[in-house]
């Protein structure tokens, strides 16, 4: 039985829904449970599972209609999901731009005294729905809840779904069970051996499927178990959970209050503590407090001022600072890219020199900082670095908050907190209340060893943090109920993430607080950091838990090596570590150091280390590890089963590597789809970090046929053309689902479908090809086949209204620009699209052609933005007929709108003006068509001039 996902997939809508879910940040369903890196959007998982289970019929147009209905992405589904209302002025603005609604403006709206209101007696809901239904998909989404938040579809929609699929369901869970019975005679089992943050198992369980979730990492196991069992708790249990959270917090609060270390002389409670590192200037020996900025709060206008004394500096906190003082605090930071800047002598010292790093005889760097001992909790007085409390945020009894520098009482509190921890640290470590685990050297963990000399995980927390978080561990330890203990573990990990020495202080307006440790995929040691008091930890300990119906009774969560999975599944849906993989094993040890005792008591069958040695890494063994894993999954899959592998779309060489891995694992490609969910850069990458997830759909290779390369080249060409033509036939011209990169991706998949349909290709040694794809892709036959498929694809996706023979005559750079402009006409501003065009048309540099390269707002320069500047990084474009036309439009606009001057430029610059008139006219028409496109107002002037120039060229005769 062929599945829907093997024939078609609504790429555009799922991309937009995935992006909406991602932008919800903490409003996402699973993120509230705890930190994990790289969770896939739940809507993408839902669509993937449904796409695998839903059969493809002989009516593809009806299939897509039904699929969108089930996903609530159709016309009616969006109406049901609409939650936010329109204001009268919003509706008026939309109606005024829409020719179908303009006749109703006088009927619906009252414009008395310049204020827009609805006419008395008009049904607001009716008008609002009519306005809503004129919007494009993106605009509608702004007013809608996410598909997962919709309780159910309406009866009429279920009638249509059931009629097409031969079912009798009235909810999603029931539909999945009925489709499962039709196909397998039992409920479908969804497996994920890299469950990570739990997106795939959770959504599968929420859809009513049986699930198997496996991962090497205990933190991944904990989050996945919690997603299915805590979010799947009933209302009675949820009430118990909330009461448990309150009881634990109250207990810890009483103990901290009794110690008296967070209250000042007025009985006011601290909210935050600000610390900085100090070091002696090597030039003048002054002890310098280190921070990139001394701004504490932009909203409260709070700064710390450096006041020099005999040995170093006093730090005085001032609120309501003047704008001059704020600027001075921003500029007088004592550490930056150049290292430490001493405000006394003005000399700069590189950090590596300050740490006394040096090279040994072999040229290897030896780090100069003293390595801390297991029982230590603070810097020693003779260390290169020491630590200093320089500001405290307090809350008054009336709820108002203020900052001050520490006085004698504050310093006594600080001394007491340190003393308590120093006296008890050894005992607490033995009892498992605070970490005792050593930091193992790794790609990421080397940072804390090199930059601070920290050797054990508890060194990443100061005395106050160890004391308060340790109290939570002690309280959770007394709970015997498994679900409640997991709730406690999740709360503990959130407190750990938001209260370590790696937590940045955020001075933003209305948001003056310390941030989480893992704002990216690294351990970032800081010169100054924020410490949350117990009052400040409230938002970490208390987290929202919403109740969802999950098939938790038929969910298996195991800690296991994917190479040793023994459970059978109908569909394996996996998001494996790939290429520049996140170092999950190292990052998660930050949490495991705290979780060890509680995890073993809660899950006695689990272990508590990250299994670094077994983790799949992007090293020389990566390919073989992946082959071993996917060969094992293939063994534990029905002959009629399927696999979907999610990975980040890169280039043909990466495609070839993955395809060869799957081929050697006994799998064949049946389809591939690209879901683009772009967000602005975050984490470690500079510039734009574009998220594009490819779904590679695979089935078990059950045939034993063989072919030769020269025999299948024709099949590949035919397969690529057939695939693209079928997608173009299905596409909605008014609301396109596929962009050009999707067609190229389909071409890749079509070529791999042909290749992997054979057990063996006569001339190809798969091991040798895999090595070439990784180390020498230019000589890989498989890479060449995929590259050729791309060229075939680009020959098939010629812009509308452009003649085939003229398209052939354009340079690669001109094609890049024209396809980019065509994408903009359809509202496509994704930088990933331009990256794909650059690869497809072999453009190495295109920055000078772009007005904007940011994610989701990328676009090309207009003629007036180009002006007469030279496009130096792309000589093919600079010398092209298109560049001459763009310059002509600019000249005509600049010269008081005289189009004849533009025509003169074209005739003067074109090498063969009369022989190029057809090309010139088509390009002018193409540019003219940007006129009156709502999302392209920046092209209006150029489009109007292109229209006039077209008439001049068309009427120009010898």
The domain in which residue 900 lies consists of 802-954
Q: pLDDT band for 734, please (50, 70, 90 cuts).
A: low
Report in angstroms the alpha-carbon separations of 543 from 29, 32, 294, 537, 918. 11, 6, 32, 11, 65
Q: What is the pLDDT of residues 656-706, one digit of tens each?
A: 788 888 999 999 999 988 887 654 433 333 333 334 788 999 999 988 888
| Domain-embedded: residue 449 | yes
Query: Which pLDDT value is given to residue 685?
Result: 36
Best mean pLDDT range from 31-45, 424-438, 764-778: 424-438
Residues with Cβ < 8 Å from 478, sequence gap 6 or more?
Answer: none
Q: pLDDT band for 620, please (50, 70, 90 cuts).
A: low
Residues 499-512, mean pLDDT to the nearest whole number: 92
| Domain-embedded: residue 679 | yes
Residues 892-905, mean pLDDT to the nearest whole number: 92
Q: Residue 480: pLDDT above 60?
A: yes
Residue written as token pair 């010169």: 527
Mean of per-residue pLDDT scores for the chain: 91
Q: Residue 68: pLDDT above 60?
A: yes
Residues 537-544, mean pLDDT to the nearest whole number: 91
Residues 346-354, mean pLDDT to the nearest whole number: 94
Q: How far apart are CA 389 and CA 263, in angstroms?
A: 15
| Residue 763 and residue 657 share a domain | yes
Report in angstroms the alpha-carbon separations of 624 from 563, 660, 664. 11, 11, 10
| Residue 853 and residue 745 share a domain | no
Residues 370-379, mean pLDDT to the nearest whole number: 96
Query: Which pLDDT value is given to residue 436?
Result: 96
Report in angstroms the alpha-carbon separations of 539 from 394, 501, 550, 886. 17, 18, 27, 55
Best mean pLDDT range from 34-43, 330-339, 456-465: 456-465
Residue written as token pair 């440790």: 517
Q: Residue 578: pLDDT above 70?
A: no
Query: Which pLDDT value is given to residue 688?
Result: 35
Closest Cα partner for 687 from 549, 822, 832?
A: 832
Answer for the pair 394, 268: CB distance below 8 angstroms, yes or no. Answer: yes
Q: Which two tokens stand for residue 660?
A: 């060869």
The pLDDT > 90 percentage for the chain reads 69
Domain limit, last residue, from 777, 795, 813: 795
| Domain-embedded: residue 835 | yes
Q: pLDDT band for 551, please (50, 70, 90 cuts).
A: very high
| Domain-embedded: residue 554 | no
| Residue 828 and residue 719 share a domain | no
| Residue 753 and residue 866 share a domain | no
| Domain-embedded: residue 715 | yes
Report in angstroms the alpha-carbon separations of 398 from 268, 390, 394, 539, 735. 10, 25, 11, 20, 55
Best mean pLDDT range from 285-289, 362-366, 851-855: 285-289
Q: Which two tokens stand for residue 615?
A: 């983790």
Say how many domains are in the chain: 4
Q: Residue 621: pLDDT above 80?
A: no
| Residue 407 and residue 295 share a domain | yes
- Phi-psi map region of 782: left, alpha, beta (phi>0 left; psi -120 to 50 alpha): alpha
Domain limit, last residue, from 153, 181, 209: 181
Query: Which pLDDT value is given to residue 683?
Result: 35
Query: Which pLDDT value is given to residue 649?
Result: 56
| Domain-embedded: residue 905 | yes
Q: How far apart are CA 519 and CA 675, in angstroms?
A: 24
Domain limit, last residue, from 748, 765, 795: 795
| Domain-embedded: residue 901 | yes
| Residue 820 and residue 719 share a domain | no
Q: How far is CA 296 from the centre of its chain?
A: 30
| Residue 772 and residue 624 share a domain | yes
DSSP 691: -
| Domain-embedded: residue 562 | no
Selected residue with higher pLDDT from 15 and 738: 15
Query: Which pLDDT value is given to residue 456?
Result: 97
Bridge pairing between strands 637-648 and 569-574? parallel
| Residue 836 and residue 774 share a domain | no
Residues with Cβ < 8 Å from 434, sequence gap 6 or more?
Answer: 425, 428, 458, 461, 466, 469, 470, 473, 594
Query: Which pLDDT value is given to residue 764?
Result: 81
Query: Which pLDDT value is given to residue 678?
Result: 53
Q: What is the pLDDT of residues 318-334, one digit of tens each?
A: 999 999 999 999 998 99
| Residue 780 and residue 652 share a domain | yes
Annotate 531-600 with three-state secondary structure: EECCCCCHHHHCCCCCCCCCCHHHEEEEECCHHHCCCCEEEEEECCCCCCCCCHHHHHHHHHHHHHHHHH
How far from each other are the two terminal CA atoms of the chain, in whole angstroms?
Answer: 65
Residues 900-915, mean pLDDT to the nearest whole number: 93
Q: What is the pLDDT of residues 813-836, one digit of tens each?
A: 999 999 999 888 888 888 878 887
Residues 275-284, mean pLDDT to the nearest whole number: 96
Span of 568-572, 627-631, 842-846, 887-891 with lowest mean pLDDT: 842-846
Residues 494-517, mean pLDDT to the nearest whole number: 94
Selected residue with higher pLDDT from 136 and 156: 156
Q: pLDDT band for 651, please (50, 70, 90 cuts).
A: low
Enumerate the β-bridge partners of residue 668.
699
Annotate 622-665 with three-state secondary structure: HHHHHHHHHHHHHHCEEEEEEEEEEEECCCHHHHHHHHHHHHHC
């Amino acid at each position: 039985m062929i599945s829907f996902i093997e024939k078609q997939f609504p790429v555009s809508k799922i991309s937009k829904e995935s992006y909406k879910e991602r932008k919800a940040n903490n409003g996402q369903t699973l993120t509230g449970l705890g930190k994990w890196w790289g969770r896939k959007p739940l809507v993408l998982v839902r669509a993937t599972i449904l796409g695998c289970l839903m059969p493809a019929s002989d009516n593809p147009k009806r299939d897509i209609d039904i699929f969108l209905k089930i996903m609530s992405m159709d016309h009616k589904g969006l109406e049901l999901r609409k939650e936010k209302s329109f204001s009268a002025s919003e509706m008026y603005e939309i109606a005024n731009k829409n020719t179908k609604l303009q006749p109703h403006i006088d009927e619906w709206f009252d414009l008395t005294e310049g204020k827009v209101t609805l006419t008395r007696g008009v049904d607001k809901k009716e008008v609002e729905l009519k306005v809503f239904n004129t919007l494009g998909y993106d605009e509608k989404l702004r007013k809608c809840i996410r598909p997962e938040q919709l309780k159910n579809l309406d009866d009429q929609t279920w009638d249509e779904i059931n009629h097409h699929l031969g079912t009798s369901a009235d909810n999603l869970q029931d539909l999945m069970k009925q489709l499962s019975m039709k196909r397998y005679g039992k409920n479908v089992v969804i497996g994920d051996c890299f469950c990570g943050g739990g997106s795939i198992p959770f959504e599968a369980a929420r859809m009513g499927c049986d699930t198997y979730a496996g991962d090497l990492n205990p933190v991944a196991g904990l989050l996945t178990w919690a997603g299915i069992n805590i979010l799947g708790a009933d209302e009675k249990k949820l009430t118990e959970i909330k009461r448990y959270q309150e009881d634990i917090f109250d207990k810890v609060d009483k103990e901290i209050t009794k110690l008296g270390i967070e209250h000042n002389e007025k009985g006011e409670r601290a909210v935050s503590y600000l610390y900085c590192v100090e070091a002696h200037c090597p030039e003048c020996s002054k002890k310098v407090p280190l921070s990139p900025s001394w701004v504490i709060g932009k909203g409260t206008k709070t700064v710390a001022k450096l006041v020099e004394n005999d040995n170093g500096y006093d730090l005085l906190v001032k609120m309501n600072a003047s704008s001059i003082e704020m600027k001075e605090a921003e500029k007088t930071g004592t550490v930056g890219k150049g290292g430490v800047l001493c405000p006394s002598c003005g000399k700069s010292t590189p950090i590596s020199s300050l740490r006394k790093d040096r090279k040994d005889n072999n040229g290897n760097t030896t780090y100069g900082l003293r390595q801390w001992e297991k029982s230590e909790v603070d810097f020693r007085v003779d260390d290169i670095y020491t630590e200093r409390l320089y500001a405290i945020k307090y809350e008054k009894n009336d709820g108002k908050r203020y900052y001050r520098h520490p006085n004698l009482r504050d310093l006594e509190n600080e001394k007491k907190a340190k003393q308590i921890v120093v006296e008890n640290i050894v005992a607490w470590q033995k009892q498992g209340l605070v970490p005792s685990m050593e930091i193992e050297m790794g790609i990421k963990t080397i940072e804390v060893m090199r930059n601070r000399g920290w050797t054990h995980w508890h060194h990443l927390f100061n005395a106050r943090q160890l004391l308060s978080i340790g109290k939570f561990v002690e309280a959770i330890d007394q709970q015997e109920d498994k679900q409640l203990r997991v709730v406690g573990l999740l709360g503990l990990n959130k407190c750990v993430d938001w209260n370590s020495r790696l937590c940045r202080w955020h001075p933003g307006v209305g948001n003056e607080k310390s941030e989480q440790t893992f704002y990216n995929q690294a351990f970032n040691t800081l010169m100054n950091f924020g410490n949350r008091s117990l009052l400040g930890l409230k938002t970490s300990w208390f987290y929202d838990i919403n109740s969802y119906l999950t098939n938790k009774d038929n969910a298996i969560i195991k800690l296991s090596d994917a190479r040793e999975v023994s459970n059978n599944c109908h569909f394996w849906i996996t998001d494996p570590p790939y290429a520049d993989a996140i170092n999950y094993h190292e990052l998660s040890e930050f949490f495991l150091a705290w979780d060890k005792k509680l995890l073993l008591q809660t899950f006695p069958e689990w272990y508590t280390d990250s299994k670094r040695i077994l983790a799949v890494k992007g090293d020389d063994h990566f390919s073989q590890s992946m082959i071993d894993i996917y060969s094992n999954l293939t063994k534990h899959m029905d002959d009629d089963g399927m696999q979907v592998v999610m990975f980040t779309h890169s280039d043909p060489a990466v495609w070839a590597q993955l395809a060869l891995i799957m081929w050697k694992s006994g799998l064949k490609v049946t389809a591939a789809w690209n879901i683009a969910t772009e967000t602005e850069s975050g984490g470690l990458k500079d510039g734009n970090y574009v998220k594009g997830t490819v779904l590679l759909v695979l089935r078990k290779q059950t045939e034993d046929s063989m072919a030769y390369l020269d025999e299948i080249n024709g099949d590949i060409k035919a397969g690529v053309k057939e695939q693209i033509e079928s997608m173009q036939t299905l596409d909605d011209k008014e609301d396109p689902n596929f962009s050009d990169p999707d067609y190229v991706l389909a071409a890749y998949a079509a070529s791999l479908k042909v290749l992997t349909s054979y057990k063996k290709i006569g001339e190809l040694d798969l091991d040798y090809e895999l090595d070439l794809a990784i180390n020498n892709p230019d000589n890989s036959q498989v890479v060449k086949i995929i590259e050729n498929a791309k060229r075939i694809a680009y020959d098939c996706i010629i812009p509308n209204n452009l003649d085939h023979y003229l398209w052939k005559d354009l340079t690669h750079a001109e094609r890049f620009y024209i396809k980019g402009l065509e994408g903009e006409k359809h509202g496509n501003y994704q930088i990933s699209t331009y990256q794909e065009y650059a690869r497809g048309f072999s453009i190495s540099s295109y920055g000078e052609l772009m007005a904007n390269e940011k994610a989701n707002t990328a676009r090309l320069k207009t003629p007036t933005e180009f002006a007469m500047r030279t496009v130096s990084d792309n000589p093919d474009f600079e010398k092209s007929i298109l560049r001459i036309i763009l310059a002509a439009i600019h000249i005509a606009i600049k010269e008081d709108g005289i189009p004849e001057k533009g025509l003169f430029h074209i005739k003067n610059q074109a090498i063969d003006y009369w022989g190029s008139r057809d090309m010139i006219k088509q390009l002018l028409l193409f540019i003219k068509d940007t006129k009156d496109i709502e999302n392209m107002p920046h092209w209006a002037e150029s489009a109007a001039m292109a229209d006039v120039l077209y008439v001049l060229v068309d009427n120009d005769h010898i």
